[in-house]
Structure 1
Amino acid sequence: MDGIAELRALRQRLPDIAGAVLASTDGMLIASDMGTGKDGAPGGVEAETVAALAAASLGLGQRFAATVQQGHLRETVIQADGGSVVTYAAGRRGLLTVLACPHANLARLHYEARRVASRLGGIIDAPAAPPPPVPAQAAASERPRLARRTPMATITR
C-alpha cells in the first residue's frame, strides 16, 4: 500500500480527521489527503504548508525533549479551538501529521495513526532498490567516447 492509500484509509476509518499529510523530516511533502474543503483542503490549508510546519514543530519538539532529558520525541499534539494537530514520527525520516476535528476521539486517533506512521516509516526508511546489473558487453559498448584534444590556436601579431 502506498502513502496516499494509507492516508485515505486512515481518513475512512476515522471520519473526524479533516486531513492527513506525510512529509520528510526536512519538510518536503511526500503524500497528502486533505479532504474536500475550499481548494481541496480544510479551511484553505495547503499540504505543503502543513509539511513545512510539521518539520519545524519536530525540530522544536526534539530540542525540548532533549533539554528536559525525556528521550526521543515520538509525537506532538496541538489542541486549538478548531481541533487538534497531531504529528507522529514515521520512521527516522518521515512525519505523519493529522488534522482532527474538535470532537475527535484522540485515543482512537492515536491508536490508528501510530500504526499508520509505523507502516509508512518502514516504507520511507527502506533502502532504495539497487539498479539492475548491466551486462558486461552492453556496458563496454555504451561507454562514452573521450573528447579529442586539439591544439590551441596561436596568436600572431
Structure 2
Amino acid sequence: MTQASLNLPEALRGALDTALRELHQRIPAIMGCVVATVDGRLVAHIIDNEADPQRIAAMIGSMVALGESIGRETRIDRSQYVVVNASNGLLYAQRVPSRRELFVVSTLARPTTNLGLVLHETRSAAEEIGQAVDGWLEQQQTRLAAAASTAEA
C-alpha cells in the first residue's frame, strides 16, 4: 500500500490502511481503493492499474458533495453514494460516516463486478474508518480535558 504525505497520527493511519487493504482483498475484481479528505487530499490508496490516486482523491470529494447537492436540490434528500458506471469499470464513492465527516472512500472495480457487493463492502470499510476516526477524536478530547484539568490544579 502506498501512502500519501498527509500527516495523520500513527494509530489512525494504521486503521485506515487496514480497512483499505481488507476491502481490496475481499473482492478480487477491485482494481483500487482510495481514501481522501473531503477537500481532495490523498490519505491512502491501493491502485492496481494506471489510475492516478492523487487525481482520484482530488475529484471524489467534489463528486460526493455534488451528489449530495443534487439530492437536496431535487428534493430526494442527501445522496448516500455516487457511482460512475463506465465501459471499462465502475467507481463507487461515499463519505466516511463519523462525527466529523473528514474523509471519503472510493472503490474502483472491473465492469463485471457485482455492484451490490462493491456497495456493501465499501460501505463496511467506510464504517470501519469512521469508527477509527471517532475513536481517535474521543482520545484527543480526553487528552485535552486531562491537560485542562491538570493546568487548573
Tell me which of 103, 108, 117 is aligned to 2:112. Answer: 103
CA separation in 2, counterparts of 1:48 and 1:59?
18
Q: Residue in 2 aligned with 1:27?
A: 40
Tell me which of 66, 69, 73 is aligned to 1:67. Answer: 73
Matched, 1:112 2:112: no
Tell me which of 53, 69, 74 is aligned to 1:47. Answer: 53
Given that residues 83 and 101 in structure 1 are in contact (C-alpha distance below 8 angstroms), is that contact kept between their aligned partners in structure 2? yes
CA separation in 1, counterparts of 2:133 and 2:77?
22
Given that residues 60 and 106 in structure 2 are in contact (C-alpha distance below 8 angstroms), is that contact kept between their aligned partners in structure 1? yes
CA drift at 1:123: 2.4
Which one has a bigger Cα radius of gyration? 1
CA drift at 1:133: 3.7
CA drift at 1:85: 0.5
Secondary structure of residue in 2 paired with 1:74 = coil
Q: Residue in 2 aligned with 1:38?
A: none
| Code of the aligned partner of 2:115 | L
Gaps of 5+ in 2: 1-13
Given that residues 4 and 33 in structure 1 are in contact (C-alpha distance below 8 angstroms), is that contact kept between their aligned partners in structure 2? no
CA separation in 2, counterparts of 1:27 and 1:61?
15
CA separation in 1, counterparts of 2:103 and 2:132?
10
Tell me which of 57, 71, 74 is aligned to 2:63. Answer: 57
| Code of the aligned partner of 2:118 | L
Aligned-pair Cα RMSD in Å: 2.0
Tell me which of 68, 77, 82 is aligned to 2:83. Answer: 77
CA separation in 1, counterparts of 2:25 and 2:92?
17
TM-score by length of 1: 0.74
What per-residue deviation string (whole Å, max 9, x for no partner) do you get for residues 82-140 of structure 1? Answer: 1100002212221111000011111111111111111112223452623674977xxxx
CA drift at 1:80: 0.3
Q: More displaced, 47-56 or 118-127?
A: 118-127
CA separation in 2, counterparts of 1:110 and 1:29?
21
Runs of 4+ in 1 over 4 A off after TM superposition: none
CA separation in 2, counterparts of 1:8 and 1:122?
16
